[in-house]
C-alpha cells in the first residue's frame, strides 16, 4: 500500500516520538550512554518529517543533523541555543556505536548532563514540529 504525504509525515513523527520515549526510558533507568543517542534519533526523524512535508519526497539517507538542517534551510532561522543543542547531539549518534569512545562518553554522560540533553531536546522537538 502506497502512503500519501500525510501518512509519510505521520510515520516519521511516530518514530520520533517512539525514540524520544526510549530516551526517557534510558534516562529513568540510568542507561546514560543511550540517552543522547535516542535524543539524536528523535530529532533526526522529526527533521525528516518536516522534509517530507516540505518537499514531498523521501528524505536523504543521512544521520547528519547539520546536513538535514542545511537542506531545510533551518540554520538561518534557528536560535544559537537550538544550534548548540544540535552541536551536542550530532556526535552522540556515531560515538555511542564505537567502543573507543565509550570510556570518554561514560565520563561526559552524567545524570545531570543527560537531564539537560533530554530537556533541551524536548524543547527543540516542539520547535521543529511547529515548522510543519
CA 132/CA 116 separation, integer angstroms: 25
Between 30 and 92, residue with greater pLDDT: 30
pLDDT band, residue 107 (cuts 50/70/90): confident
Contact partners, residue 43, CB within 8 Å, separation at least 6:
16, 65, 86, 89, 121, 124, 125, 128
Q: Residue 108: what pLDDT?
A: 84
pLDDT at residue 100 in the model: 67
What does pTM read for this prediction?
Answer: 0.93
| 98 has pLDDT over 70 | no
Average of per-residue pLDDT across 46-63: 96
- Pairwise CA distance, residues 50 & 43, whole Å: 11
- Of all residues in the chain, what percent carry a pLDDT higher than 70? 92
pLDDT of the residue at 95: 55
C-alpha cell at 99: 567502543
Amino acid at each position: 500500500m502506497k502512503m500519501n504525504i500525510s501518512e509519510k509525515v505521520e510515520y516519521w513523527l511516530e518514530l520520533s516520538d517512539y525514540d524520544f520515549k526510549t530516551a526517557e526510558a534510558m534516562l529513568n533507568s540510568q542507561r546514560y550512554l543511550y540517552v543522547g543517542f535516542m535524543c539524536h534519533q528523535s530529532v533526526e526523524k522529526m527533521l525528516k518529517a518536516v522534509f517530507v512535508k516540505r518537499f514531498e519526497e523521501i528524505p536523504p539517507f543521512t544521520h547528519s543533523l547539520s546536513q538535514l538542517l542545511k537542506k531545510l534551510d533551518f540554520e538561518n532561522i534557528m536560535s544559537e541555543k537550538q544550534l548548540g543543542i544540535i552541536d551536542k547531539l550530532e556526535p552522540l549518534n556515531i560515538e555511542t556505536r564505537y567502543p573507543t569512545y565509550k570510556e570518554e562518553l561514560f565520563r561526559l554522560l552524567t545524570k545531570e548532563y543527560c537531564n539537560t540533553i533530554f530537556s533541551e531536546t524536548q524543547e527543540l522537538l516542539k520547535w521543529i514540529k511547529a515548522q510543519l
